[in-house]
Homo-oligomer: A and B are copies of this chain.
């Protein structure tokens, strides 16, 4: 088997985010589903955009955000996703490559424009997302390059891909190729509404094809249709090699068979925008895992990356995460040094 020169290949919907601050009242007035990711068509996208306040644009897409985070931590990472050859596609392509991510997917030259996600950030820093998939509907199994998948220790995918059959087939192809190469396969459940739409299919996937699962509390309890986080935890540990379950400000729980780690969140002075928190947690975790760290440290790296991204508007790191991690280690070791010289 060839060497893995990539730590992770991420596959997902290639999206440009349009982020705007909104009032709580806007959520009801515009008939949005608070805190969720809702798929919308072109007409609804145009209508919602017209009613949205002034915005900023930033490259997004769940798995693409994770790829950018892994690169920022110093990992070797590739991304697979479909844009069109329009201005937003140019923005997406520039940003992912400028982040240090290998991105070689061919842009569509016809059909719908590059995908956009209209994100309303309410005063509680919660994001309500409305995605027009646009060119993402053209992501097909033939966009999966088996050689590239074989180069990566982990193939990571977003559950959102499940919303389209061709993307789902692309996903299954990538998972099969990865396992042929004896690599690991990872998925995030993405959104509890996404779980509701695809529960049986996700369940089957997790039992048969997933080595590393990411989910938040709402998603994992929705998957198993249980009321308590603990009940879901007991279920998932029997079905999945590694599960990293996030709980917002309560941190995360990482479970791998008999091994369980409760990981604290990293405190944040001011939460500005929760967009991308889960994506960056996955970035930190996968970077740790592909660099030989123990599961507790993987979770801690996830917490550091998530804390950075919720401190500002936008779904990707604003600082170099490897510097941030080095600084935290330095602070930690000098604190230990001080205490060891204290009486």
Contact = CB atoms under 8 A, between A and B. Distances in A.
Contacts of A342: none
Nearest to A113: B87
A57 B54 contact: no
A314 B113 CA distance: 26
A324 to B, nearest CB: 14
A21 B318 contact: yes
A7 B51 CA distance: 25
Contacts of A314: 56
A30 interface: no
Interface stretch (A88-96, A235-243, A250-258): A88-96
Contacts of A99: 53-54
Interface residues of A, number: 26
Interface in A31-80: 49-50, 52-59, 68
A91 B57 contact: yes
Contacts of A54: 59, 68, 94-95, 98-99, 316
B53 A56 contact: no
Contact of A50 (B50, B52, B94): B94
A102 interface: no
Contact of A58 (B52, B57, B68, B87): B57
A264 interface: no
A47 to B, nearest CB: 12
A166 interface: no
A143 interface: no
Nearest to A17: B56
Contact of A86 (B58, B87, B94, B95): B87
Nearest to A57: B57
Contacts of A56: 56-58, 314
Of the listed residues A49, A54, A55, A98, the one surrounded by the most CB atoms of chain B closer than 10 A to its CB is A54
Of the listed residues A57, A94, A314, the one surrounded by the most CB atoms of chain B closer than 10 A to its CB is A57
Contact of A95 (B55, B88, B91, B313): B55
